[in-house]
Structure 1
Amino acid sequence: MDIDIQNHARANILGSGLSTRVGRFVCRFDPDSDNLFLNYAIPDEDTDPTDAELDELAEAFAAKGRVPRFEFLPTRSPKLADALRAKGYREQHRGRLMACAPGEVADLPLPAGLSILDATDEESFVGAAAVQHPAFDDEIPPRDVVIRSHTRSLERGGLLAVAVLDSGEIVGAGQTGPAIDAISEIGGIAVAPAYRRQGIAAALTAHLTRALHANGVRTAWLDPADDGAGRAYEKAGYRVVGEILHMVDDGAAS
């Protein structure tokens, strides 16, 4: 499964229209944001880079005004982490890779007065962004950037869901990438502070996962930001299938 997930992550960037290949790495450079989590490189299978290759990649990031950063599965490129540490990179995140197959997603109740809806219009895009970006300590982008980003994602086959109060206020959101070879990633699960610990994150995850499975996805996967998020995903039916590592250039980030 780890091979399939790493291949999916790489193929997702290649199909995004935001990819640049630098040697044995596929890079995603977001044109609208220097957010670390939107700009990163994924290695080809079993990449053991030379100093020159890593210097070339750092130069490509610098040319875009971005901080060099990597996302990869250690099992697929076991020598990469040591090569990056030798160049001054630090471990930014070591996460539990989780997945959910058809038939494993949980049926979860929602708090009274709240619904989960598929978001396809501009106001929902903006409402989702107002919850998601602060949850990840990021500034909310301008309206046109938000609309462009979500429109691009939905046109590629991604999904966006929002948790909505009866009053119409959006208090939670989450999204998926496009399905590639029957695999899709879920991300951006976020809930407004006043509504956390009520099961909304798990319910959003289950809703999106169920929709993916209904559309023929056999493996939905995600990368929890922390243990609390991981517990919410476990409630939705996810299980740990491996490990994912994020590494960033300390010098470029300082």
Structure 2
Amino acid sequence: MDTDVQSFAVANLRRRPVVVETAGFVVGFDPGTTSPYINYATPLPGAEPTAADVATLVAAFRDRGLKPRLEFAPDAAPAVEPALREAGFTREAVHEYLLCTPATLAVPQPGPGRPIVEIPSTDEDFTAIDEALAEAFAGEFPASAEGAARLRRTHETGGAVRFVRSPDGRCAGGAMTSAPAVGTSELAGVGTRPDFRGQGVAAAVTAALAEAMFAGGAASVWLEYSGEGSRRVYERVGFRPHGTRLYVSLADPA
């Protein structure tokens, strides 16, 4: 399954507004932001890059004033990390990912007091979701017009966005999934504003998004988790451990 997840990563980056393909790598850029979490590269499954290939990859970032950074499933391209390390890349993190299928999905049953999941439709909805996720992640991804636009673009290009409305009419929490590729889809950005945590918001939007992808024909949905608390939430709705993803980057030259 690592190969499927890595093939998805390649296909998903090819959807970015600007795509650069170098020997063994795909780089996705979004001119609307300089964030290294949005502008990054991933290797083709089975890639065996040379030092020259890595240098070409680095130049694609440096020419744009961006930090060279990659995200990938290492088991799908075992030769890549050693080649990157030789060029000075260092590990940022290794994250386990969880996978859900139609057979394992457990959608929370509706009832009194249970969160009601909605589909955003207005600019105000997308802005409120972006602001709620910024608050949920403590400003790691600041709210912006570009962030709201990316959520709408995801919603309108085969992915999905779901949220739970807060009593003030805005957003208590939400998440999104990318459009499926090679039979799978990534669920990301699950966040709940602090005042609404512990009320089932994350579980409700996660299950609703997985359900939406399966209804559209995806065979699986995968995500990464940030801690044991979130892992338990995802496991309750049917996600199971399946592999790891590696994050590496190259520091600015001295």
> Is the shorter-chain TM-score for this pair beyond 0.5, marking a shared fold?
yes
In 1, the alpha carbon distance for the partners of 2:246 and 2:253 equals 18
**Deviation of the 1:81 alpha carbon:** 1.6
> Larger deviation: 48-57 or 21-30?
48-57
- Name the CA shift for 1:253/1:236 in 2 (closer, same or farther; >3 Å): farther
Aligned to 2:29: 29
In 2, the alpha carbon distance for the partners of 1:203 and 1:252 equals 41
TM-score, reference length from structure 2: 0.91
SS in 2 for 1:34: coil
Aligned to 1:152: 153
Aligned to 1:123: 124
Deviation digits for residues 214-247 of structure 1 (CA, Å, limit 9, x no counterpart):
1211111112234333222112210011111111
Aligned to 2:72: 72
**Alignment of structure 1 residues 1-254 onto 2, 5 Å:** 1-108=1-108, 112=113, 114-136=115-137, 137-141=140-144, 143=145, 145-249=146-250, 251-252=251-252
- Which letter does structure 1 place at the counterpart of 2:207? A
Q: What is the aligned-residue RMSD (CA, Å)?
A: 2.0
Structure 1 residue runs of 5 or longer lacking an equivalent are: none
SS in 1 for 2:74: coil
- Name the CA shift for 1:31/1:243 in 2 (closer, same or farther; >3 Å): same
In 1, the alpha carbon distance for the partners of 2:226 and 2:178 equals 17
Report if the CA contact (8 A) 2:115-2:200 is conserved: no
SS in 2 for 1:38: coil
In 1, the alpha carbon distance for the partners of 2:107 and 2:12 equals 28
- Which letter does structure 1 place at the counterpart of 2:28? R
SS in 1 for 2:129: helix
- Which letter does structure 2 place at the counterpart of 1:245? L
- Which letter does structure 2 place at the counterpart of 1:22? T
- Which letter does structure 2 place at the counterpart of 1:73? A
**Deviation of the 1:17 alpha carbon:** 3.4
Report if the CA contact (8 A) 2:101-2:221 is conserved: yes
In 1, the alpha carbon distance for the partners of 2:220 and 2:125 equals 27
In 1, the alpha carbon distance for the partners of 2:84 and 2:37 equals 18
SS in 1 for 2:16: coil
In 2, the alpha carbon distance for the partners of 1:253 and 1:202 equals 43
Report if the CA contact (8 A) 1:113-1:165 is conserved: no
In 2, the alpha carbon distance for the partners of 1:185 and 1:92 equals 20
In 1, the alpha carbon distance for the partners of 2:136 and 2:89 equals 25
Report if the CA contact (8 A) 1:67-1:253 is conserved: no
SS in 2 for 1:165: coil
SS in 2 for 1:187: strand
**Deviation of the 1:162 alpha carbon:** 0.8
**Deviation of the 1:113 alpha carbon:** 6.9
In 1, the alpha carbon distance for the partners of 2:19 and 2:203 equals 31
**Deviation of the 1:147 alpha carbon:** 4.1
- Name the CA shift for 1:114/1:167 in 2 (closer, same or farther; >3 Å): farther
Report if the CA contact (8 A) 1:175-1:186 is conserved: yes
In 1, the alpha carbon distance for the partners of 2:97 and 2:253 equals 25
In 1, the alpha carbon distance for the partners of 2:211 and 2:93 equals 28
